[in-house]
Structure 1
Amino acid sequence: MPDYKLLVRRYYSEIWNEWSEPALEELISPDVGFHGSIGTAVKGIAEFKRYVNRIRSAFPDFHNQVEELIAEGHKAAARLIYTGTHREELLGFPGTGNKISYQGLAIFEFKQHRIVKGYVLGDIETLKKQLAQK
């Protein structure tokens, strides 16, 4: 059985922290179903790429710190801390230059060494408070 904890670590390190397109193609299923931490739902790798680019535009230095990982069967869960600097519009807030930090939880389902489903819940209220600060 694949090491799903390692795949989740690679997902956050290579896709979200390093913005690696080859890693995205390798780790994400073409028909992925994904619900992101800011409430966005996407279907398919093209929509997932647009979601990643949207977050990257809003937070060019976006960083995902994996605090805890659990894996069982074909699923894995992660507890995370997200950080970054708000540069462009997100959630109705224009770029502020504010440093943000919020927590989240993610559950992944795998098939053939790729993520086929992802459900991420982020502490959006904390994020919004930080985006609203002047």
Structure 2
Amino acid sequence: MSQYPTNKEILTYFFDIYNNKNYEDLHDYFAADYYDHGLPQVRSVEDAIAILKLTHTAFPDIQVVINDLIEEGEKIAFRGYFTATHLGEFVGIPASGARIEFEALEIFKFEDHKVTESWGYWPMPQILEQIKQHIDQN
């Protein structure tokens, strides 16, 4: 039996950080030089922690449900469902109280039991539209 968690377990632990805010745990799951191809400002595990903290500033109650983890070789495709309330500044928009929900997709690459790279998609137009609709209604 391996002493390491499986790659799917590592991603499950990672996405649980959205729910529990144990940011330092990311060091256990991501390589120090982790590279996010979807976010130009994320070029290390420390950058990833900073983005998670910013996400929690804008959406302190964000929750993630993993719908799919599909593994092929050293990569895992993730599809998940996010819910949150817009309670802090997000892309220049002040807190609105909007309840948002969306599905996101991401591919993670693993080396030596750690995430080294990812390619992701958050549906920003859909998120912004939900916030705008809430603002327009209130």
* TM-score normalised by the chain length of structure 2: 0.87
- Measured after TM superposition, the shift of residue 40 of structure 1 is 5.4
1:5 partner amino acid = K
Comparing 106-115 with 39-48, greater Cα deviation is found at 39-48
- Measured after TM superposition, the shift of residue 35 of structure 1 is 4.2
Larger Rg: 2
Q: For this pair of structures, how many residues does the alignment match?
A: 131
**Corresponding residue of 1:16:** 18
- Measured after TM superposition, the shift of residue 122 of structure 1 is 1.3
1:97 partner amino acid = G
Equivalent position SS for 2:42: strand
**Corresponding residue of 1:7:** 10
**Corresponding residue of 2:32:** 30
* TM-score normalised by the chain length of structure 1: 0.89
Equivalent position SS for 1:50: helix
- Measured after TM superposition, the shift of residue 126 of structure 1 is 1.0
Deviation digits for residues 62-116 of structure 1, max 9, x if unmatched?
Answer: 1111111100111101111111111111122111111110111010001111111
- The runs of 5 or more residues in structure 2 that have no matched partner are none
Equivalent position SS for 1:42: coil
- C-alpha distance 40-86 of structure 1, shift in aligned 2 (>3 A): farther
2:11 partner amino acid = V
Q: Give the % identical residues.
A: 26
Equivalent position SS for 1:128: helix
* Two-structure CA RMSD over aligned residues (Å): 1.6
| Partner Cα distance (1:68, 1:31) in 2 | 26
Deviation digits for residues 28-51 of structure 1, max 9, x if unmatched?
Answer: 111000145xx5541012211111
The structure with the greater share of residues assigned to strand is: 1
Structure 1 runs of 4+ with >2 Å offset: none
Residue 93 in structure 1 maps to residue 96 in structure 2? no
- Measured after TM superposition, the shift of residue 60 of structure 1 is 0.5
- The runs of 5 or more residues in structure 1 that have no matched partner are none
- Measured after TM superposition, the shift of residue 59 of structure 1 is 0.5
* Native 8 Å contact 1:35 1:41 kept in 2: no
Equivalent position SS for 2:35: strand
* Native 8 Å contact 1:75 1:107 kept in 2: yes
